[in-house]
Amino acid sequence: MATTISQAFREYASNLELRDRQQSLVAQRRANVVSALRRRLSLHTEESKVIGSWDRHTLTRFLSEGDVDVMVILDYYSHQHWDTTSGTISALDRFKAILDDAYTTTPKRRDRNCITMHFNEFRLDVVPAFKNVGYYRIPDSVRRQWVRTDPFTFAQRLTRVNTIMDGTFVPLIKMVKGWNREVGWPIRSFHLECCSMITSAVMRRHSPIRLC
């Protein structure tokens, strides 16, 4: 039983960490999905990138209630015919058709930017992407355009804040997500992370940060 604030913080943080089995499961699912797409499509040499909460290390052990985002990077010269307004939907539909063939019993749907696969253990959002210099582009099937995205800069900034705060910032985000879960998810997880980043920036301007 914790007898200090620091101990209580560490114990609660530990309870929210992903288990080794969960991490192995996600890695395996990701590899298999990318492999299925690779057999039917030409991919960029990078092939895929895990983005979102997984990349930022802010995913909690309640994996079945969250999602893992994997960006599958297409070879542009082989698939540039999708770089059009109608191509945003065509690319997503092609991804879904390939995944339907590979995972016949796994429920899935086409969302705005991705194909969402509903595994028993978690959701996997599979996002088609083109790589440009310094950023990526993903399809927006509602606006009918390939939109610029740079998820890695945000992750790098979060890591930098976590370092400044002696490794306590990422656990704090997970704790806030834990609270959010207990009260019925009134706030989107990504918005929680953005608000946390803004709050930390304000706090750093006024005083040194050390949570425990």
Q: Which of 117, 93, 97 is nearest to 106 (CA)?
A: 117
Greater model confidence, 194 or 150: 150
Average pLDDT over residues 8-28: 66
Q: Which amino acid is at 191?
A: H
47-61, 102-116, 167-181, 196-210: least confident range: 196-210
Look at residue 138 and tell me whether its pLDDT is greater than 70: yes
State the DSSP H helix or E strand holding residue 9, giving kind and residue range, or none if neither: helix 5-15
Quick one: average pLDDT of 152-165?
A: 73
Long-range contacts of 89-97 (CB under 8 A, 24+ apart): 89/139, 89/141, 89/144, 91/128, 91/139, 92/128, 92/139, 92/141, 94/41, 95/37, 95/126, 95/128
Which tops the pLDDT comparison, 21 or 95? 95
Map out the domains of the chain with their CATH numbers: 5-16+154-206 (no CATH), 20-149 (3.30.460.90)
pLDDT tens sequence across 22-56: 677 888 988 999 999 999 999 999 999 877 655 55
Query: Are 81 and 87 contacting, i.e. CB atoms less than 8 angstroms apart?
Result: yes
